[in-house]
Amino acid sequence: MSSSGRYMLYHGLLLPTVVHTEQSLSYARDFSVQDTDVFAVTYPKSGTTWMQEILPLVLNGGDLTPVLTIPNWDRVPWLGTIKMARVSEHLPSPRALVSHLPYHLLPRSFHSSKAKVIYVTRNPKDVMVSSFHFHKMASFLDDPGTFQEFMDKFLAGEVMFGKWTEHLKSWRHHELGDRILYITYEEMVQDLRGALRRLSSFLGSNLSEEVIERIAEHCCFKNMKTNCMSNHSLVPQDLMDLDKSPFLRKGVVGDWKNHFSPEQEARFSAVIDAEMEGEACSFP
């Protein structure tokens, strides 16, 4: 447990105690993964909530009922959370889950299953900006301090779920073959319909253009912002103060340019580039 009590240490990672316990994490480790399960994996603030909206629709052929009637944390739960332990038995098949965990901490049974993974990456500068604002409005996270102080913590991995670079690397070094699809937040912002077609093909959903259109329309930023099942307005204000910063805040690419000084940008890029050196992957 951290000195503030807001985080616990799990295999070297800081996890928020508001939604994680030793028991909920142990439940996830022993969770019985089915071949039809789909995991959307993200480093925090990379498009998790968006995937919680998209996945049920791609898997059920575009029926809006679940996304209009079930809160996102019950509909597509976070692996390892207290909620997930409560709702996983009741999820419709094929089940969709989200996770911020690194590859090696997925359930043991995941590795011998045929379950699929969608790994969403987002430009780390935009991730950090989104996270900075999230830390200001979420009372269950430590105060971020100044933007510079938060950047130091982010680069050192002293934030929930550790270093962005370690997360990315863990999900590049695996033996999943064609069980994993890489997609970027930027690609989804630029061409959501195209991204939905890729998801549909990867998951074998065979969606018609009409259904793709319906899903794209429902999952655009403007519409998700008004869906109380997805915009976190059901969370008590003492946990998330949406007046300080909405959860669906801006939903754009490149907001980092409004936050980083040239010096901060240079240092941030130098650290990330050095840690990603030798990795045969590009990132947004």
- Under the rule (CB under 6 A), what is the footprint of ligand PPS? 42, 44-50, 126, 130, 133-134, 189, 219-221, 224, 248-251, 255
Give the shortest CB-139-to-ligand PPS separation in angstroms.
Answer: 14
Residue 47: CB atoms within 10 Å: 25
Give the shortest CB-164-to-ligand PPS separation in angstroms.
Answer: 12
3-state secondary structure of 163: coil
Give the shortest CB-185-to-ligand PPS separation in angstroms.
Answer: 7
Closest CA to 226 of 240, 237, 210, 242: 242
Which of 100, 133, 167, 218 is catalytic? The answer is 100
Closest CA to 163 of 40, 268, 278, 282: 268
Q: What 3 state SS string does 3-24 have?
A: CCCCEEEECCEEEECCCCCHHH
Which helix (H) or strand (E) element contains residue 207? none
* Nearest CB to ligand PPS, comparing residues 108 and 259: 259
The dihedral built from the CA positions of residue 82, 43, 46 and 120, taken in this order, carries a sign that is negative
Give the shortest CB-27-to-ligand PPS separation in angstroms.
Answer: 20
* Nearest CB to ligand PPS, comparing residues 90 and 222: 222
Active site residue 100: yes
Give the shortest CB-208-to-ligand PPS separation in angstroms.
Answer: 22
* Nearest CB to ligand PPS, comparing residues 67 and 248: 248
CB burial readout 61-89, b (16+ within 10 A) else e: ebeeebbeebbbbbbbbbbbbbebbeebe
* Nearest CB to ligand PPS, comparing residues 111 and 225: 225
84 vs 28: CA distance, rounded Å: 8
Q: 118 is written with which tokens?
A: 């969608």
* Nearest CB to ligand PPS, comparing residues 188 and 211: 188
182 vs 46: CA distance, rounded Å: 13
Residues annotated catalytic, as ranges? 100
